[in-house]
């Protein structure tokens, strides 16, 4: 009833169709007349839409209404098809990348590791054990990546939290790739020992090791992945290193002139938790206290040459310092000193962006954000509200929630999920 009106866009389409000769002339007056009529009737349609809905709802079974509400909340502002494409593409990339590495390691085991150990170990049992331990130990991070690494994108989290429609297919994908992983391990082991020994001993033992040491294997895999990405992007980052090369060449020229003074140039990075972050060089008075000189500050792509007394040190600045060994020995502990901050035990994967629908189940209607209790229930912040066709970014805490609002919250994934489950009848 709210979408019954046609407007000026209908005139544009009708005019274009008329000019191209694809519609008859009588259709243009029809479009104008329909637009004129609906212009007057739409306010009344919108006004009486809620009473009509309430009238119809009296004759609907409650189960039907609940299903309609869940369907409406589950389909609004969700791009499930595109999310599935992103997630499946991520799964394929994870599988192909790790499978290629595992195949290469398998060939390396057959061609290199097995012949090498066979030359030095005569006992066939010990030979097979050593080959399996060495080869599976090297391949374990990539077996973990093939069988357990999940996509780290927001699309995966969206699908996983929408448990009724998507969690089942995601579990099927997880089971399928674990089955493929078991087959790969079976082929690997059966090539080196008998199939009976592989099924009864080696494969169960391998799974036990992967489960017990999964945290360490995951960390090792992450380090390998980060190093690979860094090497892959080395060409793009080479341009960023040009400033560093210029500084090194300039420092080399300075050092030749400073050698009679027994002085050196040392570049140090400012710790983001250092006590002196944000203070000016005049406030620090390091030159007066320790006899050192700061000759440059490198801040990203910007170089501050011979900084003045009013320049401040910011997190991750690279500071070039001229000092003797004795001066640097006394100054280094001061530069490295940091504020005593209690460590936070927070897992970044527990923080997510999710939505909550304002309906009869959440009981948030006519409550403002401050009094709704959403912050306490989710350990999160309300970052946006979708209301009809309007989007309110970072709403004020006094904003009153209305029926049908979609509230977007950044907070604890499990608590938001529990809130949605608790409100889902």
Q: Which helix (H) or strand (E) holds 327?
A: helix 325-336
Mean pLDDT of 221-250: 60
- pLDDT given for residue 77 in this prediction: 47
Tokens of 297: 């500050």
Instruction: List, for residues 132-169, the tens digit of each pLDDT value.
Output: 888 888 888 888 888 888 776 556 666 665 555 666 77
Buried b (16+ CB within 10 A) or exposed e, 292-311: bebbbbbbeeeebeebeeeb
- Burial (CB count within 10 angstroms: exposed 0-12, middle 13-18, buried 19+), residue 106: middle
- pLDDT given for residue 153 in this prediction: 58
Of the ranges 101-105, 175-179, 210-214, the best mean pLDDT one: 101-105
Determine contact, residues 327/290, Cβ cutoff 8 Å. Answer: yes
Closest CA to 184 of 216, 151, 140: 140
| pLDDT, averaged across the chain | 77
pLDDT above 70 (res 245): no
When pLDDT is cut at 50, 70 and 90, the band that residue 239 belongs to is: very low
Closest CA to 106 of 223, 11, 191: 191
What angle in degrees, to the nearest 10, is found between the helix axes of 168-192 and 80-108? 10
HSE-up of residue 198 (Cα within 13 Å, Cβ side): 16
DSSP, res 312? B
What angle in degrees, to the nearest 10, is found between the helix axes of 27-57 and 8-20? 140
When pLDDT is cut at 50, 70 and 90, the band that residue 215 belongs to is: confident
pLDDT above 80 (res 231): no
Output the CA–CA distances (angstroms, integers) from residue 197 to 24, 186, 188, 306, 347, in the order listed: 81, 10, 12, 71, 40
Instruction: List, for residues 251-260, the tens digit of each pLDDT value.
Output: 555 544 555 5
Rounded distance, CA 163 to CA 109, Å?
Answer: 42
Q: pTM for the full model?
A: 0.38
Helix (H, G, I), strand (E, B) or coil at 221: helix
Of all residues in the chain, what percent carry a pLDDT higher than 70?
Answer: 76
Rounded distance, CA 370 to CA 89, Å?
Answer: 40
- pLDDT given for residue 341 in this prediction: 52
């Amino acid at each position: 009833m709210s979408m019954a009106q046609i407007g000026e866009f209908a005139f544009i389409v009708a005019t274009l169709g008329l000019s191209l000769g694809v519609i008859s002339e009588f259709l243009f007056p029809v479009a104008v007349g329909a637009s004129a009529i609906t212009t007057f009737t739409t306010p009344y349609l919108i006004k009486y839409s809620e009473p009509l809905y309430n009238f119809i709802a009296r004759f609907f079974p409650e189960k039907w209404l609940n299903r309609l509400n869940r369907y409406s909340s589950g389909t609004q502002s969700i791009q499930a098809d595109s999310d599935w494409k992103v997630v499946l593409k991520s799964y394929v990339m994870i599988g192909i990348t790790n499978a290629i590495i595992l195949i290469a390691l398998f060939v390396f085991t057959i061609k290199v590791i097995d012949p090498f150990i066979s030359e030095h170990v005569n006992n066939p049992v010990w030979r097979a054990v050593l080959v399996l331990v060495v080869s599976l130990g090297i391949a374990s991070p990539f077996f973990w990546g093939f069988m357990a690494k999940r996509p780290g994108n927001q699309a995966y989290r969206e699908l996983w939290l929408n448990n009724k429609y998507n969690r089942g297919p995601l579990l099927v994908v997880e089971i399928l790739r674990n089955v493929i992983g078991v087959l790969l391990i079976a082929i690997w082991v059966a090539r080196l020992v008998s199939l009976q020994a592989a099924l009864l001993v080696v494969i169960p033992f391998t799974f036990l090791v992967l489960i017990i040491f999964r945290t360490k294997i995951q960390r090792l895999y992450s380090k390998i992945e980060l190093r690979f990405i860094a090497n892959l992007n080395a060409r793009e980052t080479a341009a960023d290193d040009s400033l560093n090369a210029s500084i090194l060449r300039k420092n080399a020229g300075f050092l030749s002139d400073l050698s009679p003074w027994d002085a050196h140039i040392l570049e140090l990075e400012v710790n983001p938790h250092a006590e002196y972050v944000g203070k000016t060089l005049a406030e620090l008075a390091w030159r007066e206290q320790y006899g050192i000189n700061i000759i440059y500050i490198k801040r990203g792509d910007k170089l501050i040459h011979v900084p003045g007394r009013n320049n401040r040190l910011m997190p991750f600045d690279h500071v070039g310092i001229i000092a003797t060994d004795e001066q640097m020995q006394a100054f280094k502990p001061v530069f490295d000193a940091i504020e005593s901050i209690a460590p936070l035990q927070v897992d970044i994967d527990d923080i997510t962006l999710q939505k909550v629908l304002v309906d009869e189940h959440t009981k948030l209607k006519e409550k403002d954000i401050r009094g709704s209790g959403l912050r306490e229930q989710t350990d999160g912040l309300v970052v946006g509200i979708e209301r009809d066709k309007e989007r309110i970014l970072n709403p004020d805490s006094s904003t009153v929630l209305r029926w049908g609002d979609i509230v977007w919250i950044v907070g604890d994934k499990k608590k938001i999920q529990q809130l949605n489950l608790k409100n889902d009848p």
